[in-house]
Amino acid sequence: MTRPKAIVLHAAGTNRDPDACVALGLAGADPEIVHVNQLRSGERRLSDYRMLVIPGGFSYADALGAGRILALDLASYFADQVAEFVASGRPVIGVCNGFQALVKAGILPGDSAGDRSAAGDGTGGRRRATLARNENGRFECRRSTLLAPPSACVWTGGLPGPLACPIAHGEGRFVVDSDATLERLRDEGQIALVYGRDDGSAAGGVPADGEYPANPNGSVADIAGICNPAGNALGLMPHPENNVVVRGRDGEARRERTLACLALWKNGVDYAKEL
Amino acid sequence: MEVTTDVYRFIVRPKERPGGRNRHDACPLAADARALGLSSVRAIERAALYFVRGTMAPKELSLLGRFLFSDPLVEDCSWSRVGDDGPGGGAARGDGRDASRRIGARLVETALRPGVTDPVADEAMRAAAELGVAGVEAVASGEAFFVEGDGLGDDELASLAERLLCNGVIQRWAVGAIVPAWPDEAAGSGAVERFDLAGMDDEALLALSAERRAALDLAEMTAIRGYYRREGRACTDAEFETIAQTWSEHCVHKTFKARIEVRAGGEAGAPYPPVVDNVLKSYIKRATDEIAAPWVLSAFVDNAGIVEFDDGYELSFKVETHNHPSAVEPFGGANTGVGGVIRDVMGVSARPIAATDVLCFGPPDASPEDLPAGSPHPRRVASGVIAGVQDYGNKMGVPTVNGGIHYDPGYAANPLVYCGCAGIAPRGGHPRAQAAGDRVVALGGRTGRDGLRGATFSSMVMDSSTGELSGASVQIGAPIVQKKLSEALLAARDAGLYTAVTDCGAGGLSSAVGEMAFELGADVDLARAPLKYPGLAPWEIWLSEAQERMVVAVPPAKMDELRAVCSGLDVELTDLGCFTGDGRLVVRYGGAVVIDLDCGFLHSGPPQRALVATPPSGSRPAASRPTARAAGPAPSIAEALLAILAHPAVRSRESTVRLYDHEVQGATVLGPYAGLRADGPQDAAVLKPRESTGSRAVALSNGFNQRYGAADPYRMAVSALDEAVRNAAAVGADPDRVAVLDNFCLGDPTIPETMWTLLEAARGCYDAATAHRTPFVSGKDSFNNAYLAPDGRRVSVPPSLLISAIGIVPDDSVVPGSDLKAPGDRLYLVGSAEPSFGGSVYADLYGVPDGADPGVPAASPAAPATYRALHRAIAAGLVRACHDLSDGGSAAAVAEMCLGGRLGARFRLPGPPETALFGEANGRLVVEVEPKDAAEFERTMDGAPYMRIGAVEATGELRLEADGVEATVSLDDLCAAYRGERSER
């Protein structure tokens, strides 16, 4: 099977696009960084790719809130293309700023009731979730441990254990509008990743239970990443693309956590291959 | 629908969060207000303000408010038409909701001054159009503060606004609703002033220099007069400003290149000839020349020093200071300091891979009365500077991986902000081949009045009016503009579209175009330069230090391709003119010639300055003299260790470091903190750039100690260099592949003692660099780091020298880190030197112990051999952890290793307890070795001094021993002290 082509979307201020390319390359994909201008001009078409990656950074300087203007791009310029891409079941991942954009564009959490279609007017519809300023009000960069509970997500299924990777964000607190929304996310298997405490074991530890710094931003239910009900689109705040290379100085536990990050990317790539 | 233009005011506030955590934690502003003495302030809530001018239907206003400006899940947005609202109310009622939910809260609002870059407003304009709201003409942003407290009068609010909420240099404030200001259509004014310089007498020359804040002395002004007498014509304002900038201390390093008469007798004067002609040549460059390392590819020539990485790639490294701008506007100063040094690396055609920052502030707990009049509180300076560093590095996607924070009363009015950047580029990929006929092309941001005369401003002593007068010197960064610019430049480099490149730093286009046209000459038209707002005179366009701009020389045949690259990335490109080949710098504004200078005259530089160096007479200033032990019982060993760990020079900087993204680019092998809980401080950062295909990595480190500088500048320099190299060696860098950078920050160079300090420090640099065989590849000097208080008191910074090191780590898989790894491992002390107490942390707390050496640590002659032997051991994989001994001595170093690995240890050092455990010396490190590797380690170290001192233990405590004493400190206490959770001394 040839390497599936992955589009890595770049807007002014995107900065972890090369990092995502490293991870995608190691995971067996053929990544290409594509500027939103190239999509707008028709020089590139979303439908020519088998994976969509919206990487981290500070798109448009995070003016007016993290990811908000990139969300506007997604919801106004590319609404149909993106909707079609997601609906086709091809794997989509938004990391950090990309996650913020997917949520603010109404693409995640997304549901069958047409939450996303309401986003087509550029207003994000009546969003049920958002990513707000961290509980402590600060940008923070630190190592996090991620656990993958059973979910519908094609990216996080069957991971060998917990992931260890950095977070680096100021607006990563996952917030929902109601308990009912949280229940629905649970019922639909949309909670793909939660912050945990690493106990060093292979099984990997327990959820952070809201405790800082294991839960670094105050996210409800320790949620670090969510997927759409179909499971092909994942958004997450931490950066698994920044821990895909095993370093010689790493101990065994660290090595396993690194390989788990790489496994997440491989899941997405393998899924794209099978489509 | 109405056709008149209206202004709408949107206010966005976080929603109340029932059951949320204590909101006062999330708003440190109130605590800061109380620290400033405004004790009645209970809480301050911050809200965002947007003003929109245009013609919008109600549905469109709703779209802007609910989607663009706010996130309805967590924020409330209300809006109203300006004018519908009672003045000073702040209770915007546009959608019927009462925004004043804080009963009794008073409102203070701030907005940017006209002409200050407002990137949020720019993005909002674009986004409004994208949303289909076509009637938006202009957007402006601001902030609102709801202040709660008992009996807050207008005086208190004014004081709060001026001292905490608003920076008068870039912002305006109002109690109640603020009136927005709008930029107008941008076009230059074309106004040119001319002076009859040739006919001026000496007095008039000096008056002109002062009036235009040129910082030129009489000899320099006389040289300029001579030029105009020869040319037989008047001087234009643009020409004068160009000369002042080109000849500024900042740009030509007059002090470093001065002829220094040494007036010192006896022992002090012995190391010096009667006249030192050019410190830079005599000491710094001389070291580089004598070492003659073949892997140094560019030293002191380009915007950054360049060394070989491997056969395919080269590394560049530059460190700059941005002290005066940061004193006036901490956020903007530090922000553009980072932006500027990143551009230096872009200016050698490299991809920025790491940022570093060493920051020096006044004591955070200084009481307002102790501060020099007119200077903001160190807390405010620190938080602004740190936020500025964070903003630029994070948004550029450059990891901030190494640095330091130092506190000293001498920095209260004059903080030091050292910003560094490292980059990587293909070998030989940086062209320096501009030719006559090539276009002079400006890329990136637009030009405004930002930072006018920054080069000359930074060359003056500041006083209490500096903030006001130099408002125009403040520069505001737009990191995303530079991110795009960097992407465009790398694409242009790879496609071979330019023949030369340089950044617009101090002096703006004047300096960038002037330098590039140094031999060829150029002819450019400033009327083509895109402006931020109207009314700029040609000289202002030419000298503006507006950020995020680079100049490239482009062969005409490549212009179309470069235009395509830039338009694809939304980078603005301006063809200003061309390189001519006639050796004249000709600058026009439309039809009028505003500059026509001989490049030879301009770049021959000012006449060499003549300065005098004299050792300080009598005793050193009281603050810098090691104090005798304070009366009272000596502290116990455990007590002293905990106090040292909690000392501002040692304690954890994690809460600051975590604000910086140190992981972006995925290259960070060893970050600022590592270990079991990622909180053990590391000696240096190790990065493996994605260009590295093998096992090769880069180490970045630094050495700095202003307490040493105050006591003995020569030994400060020796120690700073040793520390930088030691730190690099500790993480596995090959000591034979370490290059260093020098950054001096001193006071007024016309004071002979300042020049003596410079001589001493420069000589220390030479001696240490040649001993370690570490060439200098770049450096910078910053003088006039002094503040003249209204009472006539002159406060200079302590003599400060930052040595930054960049080293090659041949194998990233053996980088040890400082955290202990396993119980049972052996601990060794490598290196040998006699510890002393001058400038030590222990002496700062308790004075110099009886009978101990009160001097600043001297050079360790064994250090170079020690580091080389240690490197062999690390390269052979024999070292599990390694940490350098610096501030606080051996006990602090081992304590940090323990807390990094959350493991206990015991160690014993011979000698008097204070000296053995807390004395400071150069050339020493502690190393952890697995017992099975011990014999091999000792064989490898053969010939270099080492000593087995103890072992790692599974206990939760550190046991320390020296002659006649033994002490035990629990790991929990070490951690708490180091985190600053133990405040008593």
Four-residue CA torsion sign, B736, B738, B741, B744: negative
Ranking A136-145, B150-159, B758-767, B940-949 by mean pLDDT, the lowest is B150-159
Q: Say if residues B648 and B363 touch (Cβ distance below 8 Å).
A: yes
Q: What pLDDT, on the 0 to 100 scale, is given for residue B98?
A: 41
The residues of B assigned a catalytic role are: 250, 322
Structure token digits, residue B461: 């002593």
Q: Which residues of chain A have pLDDT under 70?
A: 1, 111-125, 200-204
pLDDT range class, residue B89, cuts 50, 70, 90: very low
Mean pLDDT of chain B: 89
For the stretch B113-124, pLDDT in tens is 877 778 888 889
| Contact map slice: B 74-93 vs A, CB within 8 A | 74
Which residue from B130, B396, B659 is facing A138, i.e. has the nearest CB?
B659
**Touching check for B310 and chain A: CB below 8 Å?**
no
Q: How many CA atoms within 13 Å lie on the side-chain side of A218?
A: 22
Chain A nearest-CA distance from B97, in A, is: 20
Instruction: Give A-chain residues touching B813 at CB under 8 angstroms.
Output: 247-249
Q: Give mean pLDDT, residues B591-602.
A: 92
d(CA A122, CA A102): 12
pLDDT range class, residue B88, cuts 50, 70, 90: very low
Instruction: Give B-chain residues touching A143 at CB under 8 angstroms.
Output: 678
A5-273 maps to CATH 3.40.50.880:
yes
pLDDT range class, residue B180, cuts 50, 70, 90: confident
- In 3-state terms, what secondary structure has residue B155? helix
Chain A nearest-CA distance from B394, in A, is: 8
pTM: 0.93
Structure token digits, residue B910: 């011979």
Q: Where are the beta strands (DSSP E) in chain A?
A: 5-10, 30-35, 51-54, 92-95, 129-132, 140-147, 163-169, 173-176, 191-197, 206-207, 223-227, 233-236
Q: What pLDDT, on the 0 to 100 scale, is given for residue A113?
A: 43
**Short-list B118, B117, B126, B133, CA closest to B66:** B133
For the stretch B419-453, pLDDT in tens is 999 999 999 899 999 999 999 999 998 888 776 65
| Contact map slice: B 451-490 vs A, CB within 8 A | 478-480, 483-484
Indicate whether B471 pLDDT > 90: no
Q: What pLDDT, on the 0 to 100 scale, is given for residue B458?
A: 57
Chain centre distance of CA B373: 24
CA-nearest residue to A135 within chain B is B26
Q: Give mean pLDDT, residues B595-618.
A: 89
| Contact map slice: B 42-81 vs A, CB within 8 A | 63, 66-69, 71-74
Q: What pLDDT, on the 0 to 100 scale, is given for residue A204?
A: 67
Chain B nearest-CA distance from A8, in A, is: 15
Cβ pair A249:B390 closer than 8 A: no
Cis, bond preceding B409 (omega within 30 deg of 0): no
Four-residue CA torsion sign, B641, B642, B644, B649: positive
Question: Across-strand partners of B948?
Answer: B828
For the stretch B884-918, pLDDT in tens is 999 999 999 999 999 999 999 999 999 999 999 99
Instruction: Give A-chain residues touching B31 at CB under 8 angstroms.
Output: none
Q: Give mean pLDDT, residues B213-229.
A: 91
Q: What pLDDT, on the 0 to 100 scale, is given for residue B622?
A: 40
Indicate whether B685 pLDDT > 60: yes
For the stretch B201-210, pLDDT in tens is 999 999 999 8
Indicate whether B187 pLDDT > 70: no
d(CA A4, CA A90): 11
Torsion angle of C-alpha atoms B721, B724, B726, B728, degrees rounded to 10: -140
Chain centre distance of CA B293: 28
pLDDT range class, residue B18, cuts 50, 70, 90: low
What is the CA angle B764-B765-B769, rounded to 5?
A: 115
* Better pLDDT: B603 or B585: B585
CA dist A27 to A20, A95, A127, B756, Å?
10, 16, 33, 60
Give me the count of residues in chain A.
275
Cβ pair A37:B72 closer than 8 A: no
Chain B nearest-CA distance from A83, in A, is: 19
Mark residue B89 as left, alpha or beta (left: phi above 0; alpha: psi -120 to 50; beta: remaining). Answer: alpha
Cβ pair A18:B664 closer than 8 A: no
pLDDT range class, residue B742, cuts 50, 70, 90: very high
Structure token digits, residue B919: 């004395």
Cβ burial A249-266 (10 Å sphere, 16+ → b, else e): bbeebbebbbbbbbbbbb
Q: What pLDDT, on the 0 to 100 scale, is given for residue B455?
A: 54
Q: Where are the beta strands (DSSP E) in B396-484?
A: 400-407, 416-426, 439-444, 462-463
- Per the listing, tokens 């090369």 go with A18
Q: What pLDDT, on the 0 to 100 scale, is given for residue B463?
A: 57
pLDDT range class, residue B95, cuts 50, 70, 90: very low
For the stretch B621-654, pLDDT in tens is 444 444 444 556 789 999 999 999 999 999 999 9
Give me the count of residues in chain B.
985
- In 3-state terms, what secondary structure has residue B163? helix
Ranking A250-254, B707-711, B932-936 by mean pLDDT, the lowest is A250-254
Q: Say if residues A28 and A3 touch (Cβ distance below 8 Å).
A: yes
